[in-house]
Structure 1
Amino acid sequence: MCPQNDIPDTESTGFRMEATVPPQATQKEPRLDAGMKDHDHYAQRLPKWRNALRKRLIPIVRWETPYLALMQEKLRTPSLDSYFAFTANLGTHTFFMVMLPILFWCGYTNIGRAMVHMLASGVFWSGFVKDMLCLPRPLSPPLYRITMSGSAALEYGFPSTHSTNAVSVAIYAIQMLRGSPDHQQSTIHLGLQVFFYCYAVSIVFGRLYCGMHGFFDVVIGSLLGAVIAAVQLLSGDMLDNWVTRGTYINPLILILIILVLVRVHPEPADDCPCFDDSIAFAGVVIGCQIGAWHYSRTGFALDYPIPSTVPFDLKSMGLITASLRIVLGVVIIFVWRATMKPALFKILPPIFRVLEHARLNLPRAFFLNASKYTSVPPLHGDDNVIPSASELPHMLKNLAHPRKRSVSVGPQSAADAYETIAYRTRRRRESINSTDGVILEDASWSPPVKEGTSSNVKLSPNAKDNVPLGADLLPTPISSRVHSYEHMMGTGQTNIPSITPPETDTDFAGEVNEVLQSPEDEEREEREIFLKLEKPRVRYDVEVITKLIVYGGIAWLAVEGNPILFEFCGLGMAVNR
C-alpha cells in the first residue's frame, strides 16, 4: 500500500500544467517551490474515496511491471515489434470508425448497430474507469513502449480499451457465426471463427508485448468487453426494435441518458484524452439512434433483419456500383467533418460566453472557458477517432511501412512522470527506514549497460549491482532479473540501452548518466522529467459540443443521409420506389 504522501504535487516537480491559460499568454518557466516535496498530487485532486481506491490498486501496477519487462526481454524481436505495433491499429477507434459506415452501406445494418453500441460502450466505460482511478501504465523504464500511435501513451492505463474493444467484437462475431444456419457445413465460417479468436488474442497479448498495458489492465479490459458483448447479444435486438418502432420519444429518452452519462464522466487528475474519445462515441450513438428511427419511416429501408436496414445486393448491384457508393459516402463524411468543425468553432464561442456570463455553462477541468479566449485557432492532432483528410497520406504511409514504429523509453505523460517520481520517493523512503537512516545503494541505482555500449555510469560500491543486464551471455536466475528490473523502476531515464539486438534496433542505445544524487540533483531531475514530456495542447470548452455534433452528423450520414443519397444518385437498390 502506498503512503498517503507517495506522489508529489505538480508544484513539487516544478512543472505547472497550464491547460487553462489562453494561448496568447506567456507560460512561466517551470520552477521548484521549497517545502512542497511531500504534497500528494492525486490526494489533492481526487475525492477521498477515489484516491483511496487508487492507492489500493497502485501496488498491483508496480508489482507486475518487472515481470512484464522480463517477458518483453525474452520475447522481443524486430519482426514481432513490427507485427504487434501494426496489428494494434486494428483495435483503435480510427479503424472501427472507418469500418462502421461501410457495414451500414453494404446492408449489414444489424451488425453495424451492434458494433456501434459495443464500441461506444467499451470506449465510454473504459474511459470512465480510467479517469476515475487515474492509474498509470506500467513504468518505463524498465518497459519499452512500442507503438505507431502518438496519443495512446497519454491516456491512463487501467483498463485496456484495446482489449475491451477486441474481446467484445470477437465474442459477438463468433457467436453470430455459430448461430448462422449453415455454420456447420461451411469451412468459411470455421475459418472466420479462428480469425476472430486470433484477432482477440493478438490485440490483448500485443498490449503486454508492446509495454502499453499490464496483466491487470488487459484482464479487466477483456472482462469488460465480454460483459458488453453479452449485453448486446441478449438485448441488442430488443433495443433496436424499441428505438425504431416507437415514437420519437424513444430515441429522445436514449439520447438524454447518453447526455447524462457524458455529464457524470469523472474529472481526471491529469490532462488525459479519454473524455474526448468518449464524447466522440457518444455523438456516434446519438446520430445512429436519430438516423435509424427516421430512416425506418422513409420507405427506403427494409425491416429485415432489423428495421432501418439499408437495401444491398452485390450480385444485382455490381462491384463497381458498390465501390462507388462507398467512395462517395466516405468523401461526404470527410467533407462534413472538414466544414462543420471550423464552422462550429466560430459559432459556438459567443454562445458559450453568454452561457458563462449567466452561469449556465458546465465547465470541465483542462478545458479553457470561452471568456478566456477570443477565437479557436486551427487544431492539429486533436482527434483520435477520425483524422483529418490531410493526415491520411501520413497514416497510410505508416501502415505501408510497419517498421516505422516508435520505441520509447521513459515517461510520456504527466501520469507517467508522477508515478516515476512517486515510486522513486517510496523506494528511497523504504531504504532510509530499513537502515535506520542510512540510504541503501539501490536508492542510487543506475540502469546497467549491455556489453559493447559506451557509458559514463558511476559504478556502485556494491559489486553485484554492476553486472551488465541484457548481455545474454550467462544464464541469470529469474528472481535476479526481476530484481534488476525493479531497480530500473522510478529512474526516469530515457536513454537506457535497447534489449533488441543493436544491429537491428539502435533507436535508444546510448550512454546513461547516473548517480548518487543530492536533493538539488533530485529536484533538477524531476524538473527534467516534466520538461521532456510533450506539452498538452490547449483544449477549448466548445470542443465538447463540437464533437457531439460532428460525430452525431457522421453517424446520421452513415445510417440515413448517405443511403438516401445513394438512391437519388442511382447507386441504390430502389426496392420500394
Structure 2
Amino acid sequence: QDCTQKYIVKNYFYYYLFKFSAALGEEIFYITFLPFTYWNIDHSVSRRMIIVWSIVMYIGQVSKDILKWPRPLSPPVVKLEMRTNAEYGMPSTHAMAATAISFSFFIATMNQYKYPFELGLAVAFVFSTLVCLSRLYTGMHTVLDVIGGALISAGLLVLLYPAWDTIDHLLLTSPFCPLLSIAVPLVLCYNYPKLDYYSPTRGDTTTILGAAAGATVGFWLNNQYSASAYTSQSVQPGFALITSAMVFVLARFLVGILVVLLTRWAMKSLVLGVLGYRYKFPMGDVAARRRREVEVPYKFVTYSCVGFTATVVVPLLHGLLGLL
C-alpha cells in the first residue's frame, strides 16, 4: 500500500525544474500550447500535433489499464504527486505525450520554416527528456515505464507519419468527418477497459479525445467555409517588426486563452448541472461524478466544446478584434 511521505528538498533547482517539466505533460500545457500553435504558428502543424497526440495518448492510457503494471512503491520511493497515483505505471503517458508533441512539432515544421535541423532536433530531444526525467524525479514511474512510453510513442509516430497528409486531407474534406470525429471517440470512451477500482485514466482519456473531437470538427468547419487564416502584419523591418509581431502574438494568446478558459468553466458547470438533474445527485458528489454514465459525457461534452471554441470561436473573435 502506497503512503504519503514527508521529504526535505535539498536542491531547489532540480525540484522546480522537474516539477515544471512534469507540468509539460499535464492539461495546463495542452490547453495553452496546442491552441497557441493554432493561433500563432500554423494550422497544419497544429492539426498534425493534435491528431498524433490524441492517438498516442489513447493507446497509452488503454495500455496502462490492460497491462496493469503498478507504479513504484512508496516507500522507498518518495512521490511528489498524488493525483495520478491510482493509475498504473506502464507505459508513462507523460513520456508518450512529450515525445509525440515535441517530435511531431519538429517534423511538421522542419520543411516549412527556416531553422537549423540540429537545433530543432535538440529542442525536441531536450523537451521530451526533461519530461521523462521528471517522472523519475517525482517518483511516479520506473525507468522501464519511461523508456517504454517514449519508444511506443516514437514507434507510433513513425507509423503515422507516412499517412499524415492523407489523414489531414480527409479531416478537412470528408463529409463524414464531423460525425466520425464525435462518434468514434465517444464509442472508445464508453468502451474503455473496466478496472476493479476507480482510476482517473478513463476521465483523462475522455478529456483528450473530447478536445481532439471538438478541434477536428472545427478544422473541418473552417475549411468548408474558408475561414480567414492568420497572417503576418505588414510593418517596417527591424525592431518595429519584432515588437509588432510579439504584441499580436501576445494579444491573440491572451484573448484566446481567456475565451477557452471561460468556455471550460461554463461548460463544466452546465453539463454537470444537467447530468446531476438527470441522475439525481448534487454537484459536489465526487462518487457520482466517477460513474461512467456521468464522467464520460461530462468530460467529453465539456472538452469538445473547448476544442471547438479554440479552433472556431476564438479565430472569429480574433477577426472581429483585428488580430488576424
Aligned to 1:91: 25
Q: Secondary structure at the match of 2:308?
A: helix
The runs of at least 4 consecutive aligned structure 1 residues that moved more than 6 Å come to none
CA RMSD of aligned residues (A): 2.6
Q: Which residue among 99, 124, 128 is the counterpart of 1:167?
A: 99
2:137 is the counterpart of 1:209: yes
1:326 equivalenced with 2:258 (yes/no): no
8 Å contact 2:177–2:217 — kept in the other structure? no
Deviations 1:84-119 (A, max 9, x none): 223221222321221111111114111211221122
| C-alpha separation in 1, matches of 2:167 and 2:213 | 14
On the 8 A contact 1:132/1:267 being kept in 2, the answer is no
- Is 2:198–2:290's contact at 8 Å kept on the other side of the alignment? no
- 1:156 pairs with 2:91: no
Q: 1:137 to 1:315 in 2, by over 3 A?
A: farther
Q: 1:159–1:218: 8 Å Cα contact kept in structure 2?
A: yes
User: Equivalences for 1:126-205 in 2 at 5 Å?
Assistant: 126-145=60-79, 147=80, 149-176=81-108, 178-180=110-112, 182-183=114-115, 186=116, 189-205=117-133
Which residue in the other structure is 2:7 paired with? none
Q: TM-score normalised to the size of structure 2?
A: 0.85
Aligned twin of 1:562: 314
Cα distance per residue 1:258-286 (max 9 Å; x no partner)? 22222221012222101111000111121
Contact 1:172 1:229 in 2 (8 A): yes
Offset of residue 235 of structure 1:
1.4
What residue number does 2:5 align with? none
Secondary structure of 1:117's partner? helix
Aligned partner of 1:539 among 284, 290, 311: 290
Q: Work out whether residues 283 and 547 of structure 1, in 8 Å CA contact, stay in contact via their aligned partners in 2.
A: yes
TM-score norm. by structure 1 comes to: 0.49
Amino acid at match of 2:196: A
Q: Report the counterpart of residue 282 of structure 2 in structure 1.
A: 375
Letter in 2 for 1:261: L
Q: How far apart are residue 323 of structure 1 and its match?
A: 2.3
Residue type at the aligned position of 2:318: F
Which residue of 168, 185, 200 maps to 1:240? Answer: 168
Query: How far apart, in 1, do the equivalents of 2:124 and 2:137 lie?
Result: 19
Identity of aligned residues (%): 23
Q: Please identify the structure whose Cα radius of gyration is greater.
A: 1
Q: SS of 1:166's equivalent?
A: helix
Tell whether the 8 Å contact from 2:189 to 2:296 is kept in structure 1 after alignment: no
Question: For residues 292-342 of structure 1, what are the alpha-carbon distances to aligned partners after superposition, in whole Å with 9 as ceiling and x for unaligned?
Answer: 1111122323xxxxxxxx323155574334322221111111221222221
Count, aligned residues: 307
* Residues 168-202 of structure 1, C-alpha deviations (whole Å, 9 max, x = no match): 2233234345545745xx4xx53332122122222
Report if aligned partners of 1:129, 1:158 keep a CA contact under 8 Å in 2. yes
Structure 1 residues without counterparts, runs of 5 or longer:
1-6, 8-75, 302-309, 352-369, 380-535, 573-577
User: Are residue 287 (structure 1) and residue 39 (structure 2) matched?
Assistant: no
Return the structure number with greater relative CO, CA threshold 8 A, min gap 6: 1
Q: Deviations over 1:472-492 (max 9, x none)?
A: xxxxxxxxxxxxxxxxxxxxx
One-letter identity of the residue aligned with 2:48: A
CA gap of 1:159–1:570, structure 2 versus 1, over 3 A, is same
Describe the shift of the 1:293–1:277 C-alpha distance in structure 2 as closer, same or farther (beyond 3 A): same
Matched, 1:549 2:301: yes
Mapping 1:137-536, distance limit 5 Å:
137-145=71-79, 147=80, 149-176=81-108, 178-180=110-112, 182-183=114-115, 186=116, 189-247=117-175, 249-301=176-228, 310-315=229-234, 318-351=245-278, 370=279, 373-377=280-284
Distance 1:346 1:172, change over 3 A: closer
CA distance in 2, matches of 1:93, 1:324: 22
Whole-Å separation in 2 of the counterparts to 1:210 and 1:343: 35
Q: Counterpart in 1 of 2:238?
A: none
